Amino acid sequence: MSINVSETLTFECETGNYHTFCPISCVAWLYQKIEDSFFLVVGTKTCGYFLQNALGVMIFAEPRYAMAELEEGDISAQLNDYQELKRLCVRIKKDRNPSVIIWIGTCTTEIIKMDLEGMAPELETEIQVPIVVARANGLDYAFTQGEDTVLAAMAHRCPECKVWTGEEKEIQSESPRKNSFTPLGEAAGRIRSTTKSRDTKPLVLFGSLPATVASQLGSELKSQSISVSGWLPAQRYTDSPTLGDGVYVCGVNPFLSRTATTLMRRRKCKLIGAPFPIGPDGTRAWIERICFVLGIETQGLKEREQKIWDNLKNYLDLIRGKSVFFMGDNLLEISLARFLIRCGMIVYEIGIPYMDKRYQAAELAFLQTTCKEMCMPMPRIVEKPDNYNQIQRMRELQPDLAITGMAHANPLEARGINTRWSVEFTFAQIHGFINAKDVLELVTRPLRRNNNLENLGWTDLVKGGD
């Protein structure tokens, strides 16, 4: 097997035999984020078993999610879906009184073609609780894309924007539908600048982040005198942001392409295509892009970024020149790889479940310039990777670090390859200037562990040494 290092980004697609989490896992962080929600996963024992084991202790803390476990009678349509769901939702309303119930469709509801979208509006009027339907199934999506389907579904339910006066609305409605996918370019900046001052341009950020990280990003923008008018999702469903024509939106995570599409096409929002605020370089590029589109001059960003890099020096010394291999399972890979290349690491391969070249366009371009500036070879990007082949490649390359799922972490460690679980990047706080340290804390942990255990002489721990 030969591994070529190319000058431009290469995209490959393998067999899709890789390990990742089922997208229903998004309920784990979304139910915590949206405090007044209740997630009902309509699926089988398999889904339930996954949630129970993947979420560990959370399950015992009276979670606001549950399984609607399908039984043989449901599959063979001996039971009436509508009546069954009604029975469960009435009970949920009684026990928990949520502001919204989110139905998560699974593989099984897809295969038996259960019409969740059709039933939801009817049941909603009957029980007087909003019901949002998201199809987060393993047939179509991987891991974090689950959040994407939920947010896309919620985008439909956000209230209509009332920022514009009636007069303006008429003008808007006369103009032809502008729903092209191209992220706002140079022209965008002047669209509204004639009529409104900059603080009336509403900016809604989308992507679920812990409350502290969200307010950190908000305060970074505030220091550039941009106020964030809302988040999708908000801390409570009832505080969902208003959306509509003239609202600028920007994503904070790379896996939100459906949400972006929905916001543009269905809610007529203007998408700011930017790299994602992961790492100080990404955060600066993200803020700069937003400021540029909103017609604001940035202040002191370069110094701010430099200060963060200075603070990271200890970590950088540890990883400079080390190589890393992303097996790919959560779609954060491009942004993380770009950050690590800027840190001086060599990235051999970026495995990724799904690559939306349009939504991630700015991030991909940023990756390319980063490689050039750092004089690093372009990594190969492998979509739908094949874990078996990847392990063969890793044997040849012997990377200093593999970022991988938990299914492969222990076996790789036993073969002397350092690993970091990719899932942790999903749950840790990695966005913004302040949290750059946390990313490197994760990345360097196996390397620091090695420094501690260096002279013990037991790195290879499998019999036969294969």
Partner 1 sequence: MKLAYWMYAGPAHIGTLRVASSFRNVHAIMHAPLGDDYFNVMRSMLERERDFTPVTASVVDRHVLARGSQEKVVDNMARKDKQEHPDLIVLTPTCTSSILQEDLQNFVDRASTISDSDVILADVNHYRVNELQAADRTLEQVVRYYLEKARRQGKLDLSLTDKPSVNIIGIFTLGFHNQHDCRELKRLLQDLGIETNQVIPEGGFVDQLHQLPKAWFNLVPYRETGLMTATFLEKEFGMSYVSTTPMGIVDTANCIRQIQERLNAWAPVLLNEKINYESYIDEQTRFVSQAAWFSRSIDCQNLTGKKAVVFGDATHAASITKILACEMGIRVSCAGTYCKHDEEWFKEQVQNFCDEILITDDHTEVGDMIARAEPSAIFGTQMERHIGKRLDIPCGVISSPVHIQNFTLGYRPFLGYEGTNQIADLVYNSFTLGMEDHLLEIFGGHDTKEVITKSLSTDMDLTWNSESQSELSKIPGFVRGRVKRNTEKFARQNGIAEITIEIMYAAKEASKA
Task: Mark the segment that binds partner 1 (CB under 8 A) among 83-91, 151-159, 291-299, 341-349.
Answer: 83-91
Q: Which amino acid is at 202?
A: P
Query: Which residue's CB is nearer to partner 1, number 171 or number 414?
Result: 414
The nearest distance, CB 185 to partner 1, in angstroms, is 32
Q: Which of 9, 14, 35, 79 binds partner 1 (CB under 8 A)?
A: 79
Task: Compute the distance between CA of residue 322 and CA of residue 341 in angstroms, rounded to an integer.
Answer: 10
112 touches partner 1 (CB under 8 A)? yes
Q: What part of residues 245-264 is at the interface with partner 1 (CB under 8 A)?
A: none
48 touches partner 1 (CB under 8 A)? yes
Query: Which residue's CB is nearer to partner 1, number 193 or number 299?
Result: 299
The nearest distance, CB 159 to partner 1, in angstroms, is 25
Q: What part of residues 216-235 is at the interface with partner 1 (CB under 8 A)?
A: 216, 219
Q: Which of 75, 127, 163, 362 binds partner 1 (CB under 8 A)?
A: 75
How many residues bind partner 1 (CB under 8 A)? The answer is: 77
Collect contacts of 357-362 with beta carbons under 8 A, ≥24 apart. Answer: 358/181, 358/183, 358/257, 359/251, 359/254, 359/256, 359/257, 359/260, 359/261, 359/273, 360/254, 360/257, 360/334, 361/183, 361/273, 362/183, 362/273, 362/274, 362/275, 362/285, 362/289
Q: Is 32 exposed, middle or buried (CB count within 10 Å of its CB: 0-12, 13-18, 19+)?
A: middle
Task: Compute the distance between CA of residue 412 and CA of residue 452 in angstroms, rounded to an integer.
Answer: 19
Task: Mark the segment that binds partner 1 (CB under 8 A) among 2-10, 72-80, 252-260, 330-338.
Answer: 72-80
Q: Is 269 marked as a binding-site residue?
A: no
What character string, x for contact with partner 1 (CB under 8 A) and - otherwise, covers 307-346?
Answer: xx--x--xx-------------------------------
54 touches partner 1 (CB under 8 A)? yes
Query: Which residue's CB is nearer to partner 1, number 132 or number 308?
Result: 308
Q: Which of 125, 410, 450, 451 binds partner 1 (CB under 8 A)?
A: 410
Query: Which residue's CB is nearer to partner 1, number 278 or number 434?
Result: 434
233 upstream amide cis, omega within 30 of 0: yes
Q: Is 251 exposed, middle or buried (CB count within 10 Å of its CB: 0-12, 13-18, 19+)?
A: buried
211 touches partner 1 (CB under 8 A)? yes
Task: Mark the segment that binds partner 1 (CB under 8 A) among 215-223, 266-274, 330-338, 356-364.
Answer: 215-223
Q: Is 47 marked as a binding-site residue?
A: yes
411 touches partner 1 (CB under 8 A)? yes
Residues 6+ apart with CB under 8 A from 134: 102, 103, 104, 105, 146, 149, 150, 152, 153
Residues 6+ apart with CB under 8 A from 465: none
Q: Is 22 marked as a binding-site residue?
A: yes
Q: What part of residues 370-399 is at the interface with partner 1 (CB under 8 A)?
A: 388, 391
The nearest distance, CB 129 to partner 1, in angstroms, is 15
22 touches partner 1 (CB under 8 A)? yes
Closest among 55, 52, 33, 32 to 43, alpha carbons compared:
52
Task: Mark the segment that binds partner 1 (CB under 8 A) among 4-12, 169-177, 294-302, 407-415.
Answer: 407-415
The nearest distance, CB 249 to partner 1, in angstroms, is 25
The nearest distance, CB 75 to partner 1, in angstroms, is 6
50 touches partner 1 (CB under 8 A)? yes
The nearest distance, CB 107 to partner 1, in angstroms, is 5
Q: What part of residues 257-296 is at the interface with partner 1 (CB under 8 A)?
A: none
Query: Which residue's CB is nearer to partner 1, number 110 or number 424?
Result: 110
Place of tokens 């392409």: 257
10 Å Cβ neighbour count for 211?
A: 12
Structure token digits, residue 47: 């889904």
Residues 6+ apart with CB under 8 A from 237: 34, 36, 37, 99, 100, 130, 154
The nearest distance, CB 219 to partner 1, in angstroms, is 7
The nearest distance, CB 292 to partner 1, in angstroms, is 24
Q: Which of 10, 17, 165, 195 binds partner 1 (CB under 8 A)?
A: 17
Burial readout 212-230 (b: 16 or more C-beta within 10 A, e: otherwise): ebbebbbebbeebebebbb
Structure token digits, residue 362: 């700015």
Beta bridge partners of 40: 66, 103
56 touches partner 1 (CB under 8 A)? yes
Q: What part of residues 437-456 is at the interface with partner 1 (CB under 8 A)?
A: 437, 441
Q: Which of 21, 31, 339, 425 binds partner 1 (CB under 8 A)?
A: 21
Binding residues: 22, 47, 107
Binding residues for [4Fe-4S] cluster: 22, 47, 107
